[in-house]
Structures are given as C-alpha cells and as structure tokens.
Amino acid sequence: MKTNKILIIEDEEKIARVLELELTFEGYEAQKALDGLSGLQMFREEDWDLVLLDVMLPGLSGIEVLRRIRTNDENTPVILLTAKASVEDKVSGLDLGANDYITKPFQIEELLARIRAALRLTKHQVKPPIDENWLQVGELKLNETTREVYRKENSIDLTPREFDLLAYMLKNVKIVLNREQILNEVWGYDYFGDTNVVDVYIRYLRNKIDKPYDYSLIHTVRGVGYVLKDMP
C-alpha cells in the first residue's frame, strides 16, 4: 500500500516537530513548513494526500493559504489547526473548503483519528460511482451504456454484433440458449441467413473473452447451443 504524504504547515516549531515525529511514527510520510508561503510552495511542488494547516500563521494566514490551495485543488483534504476556539475561523475555513478542523491544544490520538477519517473519505470519493448498467459474470463485465467490456482489468474491443451477442448472453447467465433464440434476439427476426453465423460469432467472442484467460466462460452444450457461466 502507498504511504500517505502529509504536509504540515505550522509556525510553532515545537508543535510542527512533534506532529512530524508522530505522523512519521504512525507510518505517514510527513514534512513541515514553518510559514504559509513556503507551505504553499511545498504544496504546489509535490503530490500530497492531506494537509494540516495552522490558521494563525505570520504573513500569509492559514485561511489565505487554504483559499489559494482550493483555487486549483478541490480534493486534497485539509484539516485546520485553530489555536483558539474561534467560530469565525472555523466557519470561513469550512466555507473555503477545509475538510475538518481541530482546536489546539489537541490530543494526538484525536488528530490521528481525524486524519484517518479524512483520508478514508477521499479514497471513497475517488472510487467510481456504482453503475447499474454493468452486467457481470465472474471476471467479465459489460456496460450497455458505454459499451465497454472488461475481463479482469483488461479492456476488450468487440464489434457491435459481438457486443450485442455477449450482452444477450450476460442477461441470460446460466441459461442454455439455442441458435435460433440467439439469432432472433441478436440478429433479429428478419434475418434469414444460416444459423451457422451464431457459431462463427461465438468463436470470435471466445477468441477475445476466453482464449487469453485461465478458463472459459462460454460453454457449448452439445446438440443444444451455448451457455455463459462462471465456472473455473
């Protein structure tokens, strides 16, 4: 697993040092900046997973640093460290896109819990939304809207006919389909060609979705037709 990188922007050296040590001890990669401007510079130079940002900074304030961070980065979580219980700072910080704040003096355990929560939340947001248009059997999935097909993590290119055939089989997983059924559903009732065309297209599909992999998903049922099922 990748080590999460945390940037600490805090002008009180002792606090900054303690935070850096504690976070490193917890397995994070932590670096500190002692003023807003150098903090902002460090933020822009590297990729960070989270920023701990003191509000009361000399020169460029924490709120101003946050404003500048958020002008082109909406996602990196920022936790504000507020020295006083200033409601105003907290509200403007949250309005500007801070993810959380913690009031000094704080228990390191509480801060660590909030860091974990903020990191969990970003990880969650990064996950693609659940798409109801995915049909799936075992390692194979197909999206009818985007017309994407994957086996494991590999994207598979299908012709429109191959795609329609696979989509039909995916909607009928574990059901044995005979050639006439497949022909009617995929080629349409007005198709009067040879039913052998089904066998030809099944072969095309197998070459793309089964052959390169450990086991087959398309099975022949002798004398009847074909079935799609997940059976290693």
Tokens of 16: 């900054």
- CB-nearest residue to Ca ion: 56
Taking the C-alpha atoms of residue 171 and residue 24, their distance in angstroms, rounded to an integer, is: 51
Q: How far is CA 41 from CA 47, 57, 65, 216, in A?
A: 12, 15, 10, 53
Q: Which amino acid is at 11?
A: D
Min CB(69)–Ca ion separation in Å: 17
- Beta strands 225-228 and 218-221 are antiparallel
Dist CA 18 CA 21 (whole Å): 5
Select 6 or 55, whichever has its Cβ closest to Ca ion.
55
Q: Which is nearer to Ca ion, 56 or 176 (CB)?
A: 56
Stretch of 3-11, 160-168, 174-182, 187-195 contacting Ca ion, by CB under 5 A: 3-11
Query: Which of residues 11 and 49 has its CB atom nearest to Ca ion in the complex?
Result: 11
User: Residue 81 Cβ, how far from Ca ion at the closest point, in Å?
Assistant: 8
Q: Would you give the binding string for Ca ion spanning residues 38-57, x where CB under 5 A is met? A: ----------------x-x-
- Residue of 9, 11, 40, 51 interacting with Ca ion (CB under 5 A): 11
Q: Are strands 177-178 and 154-155 parallel, antiparallel or unpaired?
A: unpaired
d(C-alpha 64, C-alpha 60), whole Å? 6
What whole-number distance in Å separates Cα of residue 131 and Cα of residue 143?
8
- CB 9, min distance to Ca ion, A: 9
Q: How far is the CB of 152 from Ca ion (least distance, A)?
A: 50
Residues found in the chain:
232
By the rule CB under 5 A, 89 interacts with Ca ion: no
Between residue 175 and residue 204, which ones bind Ca ion under the rule CB under 5 A? none
List of residues contacting Ca ion (CB under 5 A): 11, 54, 56
